[in-house]
Structure 1
Amino acid sequence: MSLQAAWHIIVLAAGKGTRMRSNLPKVLHPIGGKSMLARVVETAQSLHPRTITVVVGFGAEAIRAAMPEAPVRFAWQTEQRGTGHAVACGLHGLAGADEDRVLVLYGDVPLISQVVLQSVLQQASQASVTILTTELDDPTGYGRIVRGHDQAVIAIREQRDCLPAEAAIREINTGILAARLGDLRRWLPALTPHNAQGELYLTDIVSAAVAESRPVNTVCTADTHSVAGVNDRWALAALERVYQRRQAEALALAGVTLADPARIDFRGEVTAGIDCMVDVNVVFEGAVTLGNGVIIEPNCILKDVELGDGVRVRAFSHLEGAVLQAGAEVGPYARLRPGTELGAHSKIGNFVEIKASQIGEGSKVNHLSYVGDTKMGAECNIGAGTITCNYDGANKHRTEIGDRVFVGSSSQLVAPVRVEDDATIGAGSTITQAVPAGTLALARARQVIKTGWQRPRKKPKTDG
């Protein structure tokens, strides 16, 4: 049987998650900068099923809006009647043969792995029902896997329905299972709410299979974090740390030195070369690529950036949507906004903001400056306090700066304007016209000295 042709996945995501104490649907709370549900759906996609169905209820519109391009179909569970009822809602309208298999996942189990699920799929082709289990030192709150004398599964007993001997069982049901589509179509309508919670339990299909002498298999995983669910924000925080630790480990094994793996956050995908160094409190978002020998100092945020070999990002810098060529240096306290491109060995200093600009090889903008919508050539030196005045209140305009241009401190370049190669602009100038190559431009008021001038003094206070 082809996995690609005969598998369907149903993701249960209809619960409100009352213990989260939030107006946001539980499954939309993030792990590593991405919603739990999005992570589960991505893992489901990696298995190449024929269909993926997300069962929604509370916050259904918010969930649909959060996944506008996800290749899923949505099914509605208008009232919360248990997991068996939720899966039945997911099967409604699902086209497939009786021999097809259905894999049931949960939108609040965000770290479920492809490897674990592939083990379930392999076993499921040989059984009517295959259950993913794990063993816990403290299984309180989980359904127990009840086995007969021959170790065959005979039932799954929920915590509230356990007999004392059953409550001592350490092997628990993760909730994730696979079953024949035809069997689910027969068994689910027959479920009854004869249990402590008055719900239709999906797990009761195990008893139905046993009653029909149909094979029930289990796959036990030692990765308890992979099957851990989130019911409250403390559990969410705990899994966040697990996720972050795993990402940090992968980056370290790829050749990156981490000053403290517990003080780094991954909210996207990081690709790194060798011999990089990442200090504490660095946040990676979106797609980040690091070349070889990159150094990132403390308290930096990098979102959707590409850093070439030998780039150094100094402390407290914020980079977004930027590309830095080999040997470039940024910060401390610098901000690179989307559309920034830094040439090789260029330097952006402290309290400098660059937006939608190309800075040429070896050029320097060292202090307290704003450069926006600018194309700058090589080996330029931009003095402290320089501003490219790119916005007229309605439209943005471009500034063009050639090679080897020197701009004195506290200057304003009023766009649109061009400064040609080897030009020099005197400090304190406001440039509104083109500056020819090799010339000196001065545009400031003449200094006036007045002798005998008295500085104003405060008037003395009077009573009353």
Structure 2
Amino acid sequence: MTIRSSLTIVLAAGEGTRMRSNLPKVLHSVAHQSLLAHVLGAAPQGTGTALAVVIGPDHQAVADEAKRIRPDALIFVQAERLGTAHAVLAARKAIARGVDDVLIAFGDTPLISAETFARLRAPLAGGAAIAALGFRAKDPTGYGRFIVEGNRLVAIREHADASNDERKIDLCNAGVMAIDGRRALAILDRIGNANSKGEYYLPDAVGVANDNGWESVVIETSEDEVRGINTKAQLAEAEGVMQTRLRKAAMDAGVTLIAPETVFLAADTVFGKDVTIEPFVVIGPGVSIADGTVIHSFSHIVETTLGKKVSVGPYARLRPGTSLGDGARIGNFVETKAATLEAGVKVNHLSYIGDATVGANSNIGAGTITCNYDGFKKHKTVIGQGAFVGTNSSLVAPVKIGNGAYIGSGSVITKDVPDDAMALERSQQTIREGGAARYREMKSGGKKAEK
């Protein structure tokens, strides 16, 4: 089977003024990935594919994000904003190289899927000049309408220009389009700007194609998939749709979500088999969870790798750089950062383990902290295998605790502890018989203490 070549042009030049933000619109996030990253991830890639991203002036951050996601991306600048067709032609050099299919998408539609791009390309292989993506709108007000005769798309009519009958049409323009690469420049170059704003509009490509006797068709998708993001409210709505998708995908893959609507996932979360997540858990980017692991309620996890049959929480915070070996246990009110805890390690409650390595089967007592920051630099704590660190201990880095070592409760450890040694740093306890009674009498002036 011959593989058709493609060029995807992603329009990402918009300022997004309605976002009320200094951040370019396409760099806002849904499920911890930028809007642009979602679109570029869905665009065709691999053999015979090319990608162009059209950005606005002084939007180097958008170009950098595009290159981060797709190093093969070609970057073009739309110096003036003269409409969507004008933006597409900013990538003229890429179109002129020649491909079978030219796909045009928008950087602020994070819910679009690779499957939809594939469906959009299919009619071009059958001879169509244009395939336009449409959706059935619950409220079509403001959207361009698809004017269809039989199976042919004959025009895309803007709402302001539509007749009363045309405004009753609920099949609306999503803006995404595929154009036959051999005819793309011939179509785009003939789009005019005879309108009130003097701009060049991509939907007019359908009229140009029909004037040449070339076929245009409609591909339908859901309204959710083509949601464009222009405001923070719409960003939140898209987040809700994406979270519903991610939860369903996780459960379809065998993850147990006890209360799905309370769990928040990242787009790149990786699950093994038989994972259980209790209510009110937040999983940020860069998290991998292996088979049989349980995440208890009210835990927050970011950039962390969890081994098999790990237990986390409740109320645990795992920060970037955390790695837990098989069978490790992190309990309530435990925080970790840049820490490797090997298999079987237990940190059950009220502890902070940062910039540390903890050997297999070690036990870290409640209230223990690794004192990793001296006010200027971070330092590392290394705890050997099978070590026991008693409750309320402070390990002042840089420091090494040997294999099998035992740290007495309440100790402040500032020197390395050899293998199998016991370290105890604690003031000697003194007992004064009758001291409490004498103290009470002194404070009360001989009177009985108030109850």
What band does the TM-score fall into relative to the shorter chain?
0.7 to 0.9
Determine the C-alpha separation between the residues in 1 that align with 2:131 and 2:267: 33
1:152 deviates by 1.9
Structure 2 partner of 1:9? 8
Which residue identity is paired with 1:72? Answer: A
CA-to-aligned-CA distance 1:43-100 (integer Å, 9 cap, x gap): 1154655321111116512212334433211111112111111111122454423x63
2:185 equivalent in structure 1: 185
Percent identity between matched residues is: 29
Give the secondary-structure state (helix, strand or coil) at the position aligned to 1:419.
coil
1:251 maps onto 2:250 in alignment: yes
Report the counterpart of residue 435 of structure 1 in structure 2: none
Q: Which amino acid aligns with 2:65?
A: A
Gaps of 5+ in 1: 391-396, 429-443, 458-464
Alignment match, 2:107: 107
Tell me the TM-score normalized by structure 1. 0.85
Matched, 1:337 2:344: no
Q: Residues of 2 paired with 1:350 and 1:27: CA distance?
A: 41
1:134 lines up with 2:138 in the alignment? no
Cα drift, residue 170 of structure 1: 1.3
| CA distance in structure 2 between the aligned counterparts of 1:68 and 1:41, rounded to whole angstroms | 10
Q: State how far apart, in whole Å, the 1-side matches of 2:278 and 2:218 are.
A: 44
Whole-Å separation in 2 of the counterparts to 1:316 and 1:272: 21
Match of 1:402 in 2: 403
Letter in 1 for 2:408: G
Q: Is the 8 A contact 1:16 1:58 kept in 2?
A: no
CA distance, structure 1, for counterparts of residue 193 and residue 43 of structure 2: 30
Give the whole-Å Cα distance in 2 for the aligned partners of 1:175 and 1:48: 26
Q: Whole-Å Cα distance in 2 between the matches of residues 307 and 94 of structure 1?
A: 45
- Worse overlay, 334-343 or 22-31: 334-343
Classify 1:259/1:384 alpha carbon distance in 2 versus 1 (closer, same or farther; 3 Å).
Answer: same
Amino acid at match of 2:50: T
Q: Residues 151-300 of structure 1: matches in 2 within 5 Å?
A: 151-221=151-221, 223-300=222-299
In structure 2, distance between residues paired with 1:116 and 1:48:
19
Shift in Å, 1:144: 0.8
Between 277-286 and 245-254, the greater mean CA deviation after superposition: 277-286
Give deviations 1:246-295, integer Å, cap 9, x for gaps. 11111122222213211111124223233332122212123322233322
Matched-pair contact (CA < 8 Å) for 2:384–2:402? yes
SS state of the match for residue 118, structure 2? helix
Structure 1 Cα separation of the partners of residues 290 and 49 of structure 2: 39
Contact 2:7–2:101 (CA<8 Å) still a contact in 1?
A: yes
Residue matched to 1:437: none
Displacement of 1:38 after TM fit? Answer: 1.2
Q: Distance in 2 between matches of 1:269 and 1:384?
A: 37
- Structure 1 Cα separation of the partners of residues 57 and 331 of structure 2: 46
| Counterpart Cα distance in 1 of 2:151 and 2:252 | 41
2:394 match: 387
Q: Which letter does structure 1 place at the counterpart of 2:124?
A: A
Helix, strand or coil: the match of 1:23?
A: coil
What secondary structure is seen at the aligned counterpart in 2 of 1:79? coil
Per the TM alignment, residue 241 of structure 1 is displaced from its structure 2 partner at its CA by: 0.5
Match of 1:434 in 2: none
Does the CA-based 8 Å contact 1:335-1:353 persist in structure 2? yes
Task: Read off the aligned partner of 2:330 and give its amino acid letter.
Answer: V
Mean CA deviation greater in 310-319 or 320-329:
320-329
Structure 1, 174-183 or 242-251: larger mean CA deviation: 174-183
Q: Conserved in 2, the CA contact under 8 Å of 1:103 and 1:178?
A: yes
1:309 Cα deviation from its structure 2 partner: 2.8
Q: Is the 8 A contact 2:255 2:276 kept in 1?
A: yes
Q: 1:164 to 1:451 in 2, by over 3 A?
A: closer
Structure 2 residue 37 is matched with structure 1 residue 54: no
Question: CA separation in 2, counterparts of 1:358 and 1:18?
Answer: 47
Asked whether the equivalents of residues 146 and 172 of structure 2 are also in contact (C-alpha less than 8 Å), the reply is: yes
Structure 2: distance between partners of 1:114 and 1:215 = 24
Contact 1:288/1:304 (<8 A) preserved: yes
CA distance in 2, matches of 1:451, 1:234: 68
The amino acid of 2:51's aligned partner reads I
Give the distance between the partners of 1:282 and 1:45, measured in 2 at CA.
33
**What is the DSSP-based 3-state SS (H/G/I as helix, E as strand, rest coil) of the residue aligned with 2:183?**
helix
Q: Could you say which residue in structure 1 is the equivalent of 2:424?
A: 426
C-alpha distance in 2 between matches for 1:268 and 1:163: 42
Question: How many angstroms apart in 2 are the aligned matches of 1:326 and 1:293?
Answer: 10
CA contact (8 A) 2:278 2:297 kept: yes
1:143 and 1:159 in contact (8 A); partners too: yes
Q: Secondary structure at the match of 2:234?
A: helix
Instruction: Determine helix, strand or coil for the equivalent of 1:286.
Output: coil
Which position in structure 2 is the counterpart of 1:308? 307
CA distance in 1, matches of 2:29, 2:57: 17
Q: Structure 2 counterpart of 1:265, which letter? A: F
Q: Does 2:382 align with 1:375?
A: yes
1:112-159: CA deviation from partner (whole Å, max 9, x where unpaired):
1011111111212221111122222321221111123x4422111111
The 3-state SS of whatever aligns with 2:248 is: helix
- The Cα offsets for residues 228-247 of structure 1, whole Å up to 9 and x where unpaired, read as 21121111111100101111
Matches of 1:451 and 1:147, distance apart in 2: 98
Q: How far did 1:340 drift?
A: 1.8
Could you say what secondary structure the match of 1:84 adopts?
Answer: helix
Match of 1:82 in 2: 83
Shift of the alpha carbon at 1:26? 1.0
C-alpha contact (below 8 Å) 2:10/2:105 kept by paired residues: yes
What residue number does 1:21 align with?
A: 20
* CA distance in structure 1 between the aligned counterparts of 2:439 and 2:113, rounded to whole angstroms: 78
SS in 2 for 1:265: coil
- Kept in 2, the 8 Å contact 1:324–1:342? The answer is yes
Cα drift, residue 419 of structure 1: 2.3
For 2:140 and 2:252, locate their aligned partners in 1 and report how far apart those are by CA, in whole Å: 33
> Given that residues 384 and 410 in structure 1 are in contact (C-alpha distance below 8 angstroms), is that contact kept between their aligned partners in structure 2?
yes
Conserved? CA contact 1:338–1:356, under 8 Å: yes
Contact residue 15 and residue 58 of structure 1 kept, 8 A: no
Change (3 A) 1:3 1:159: farther
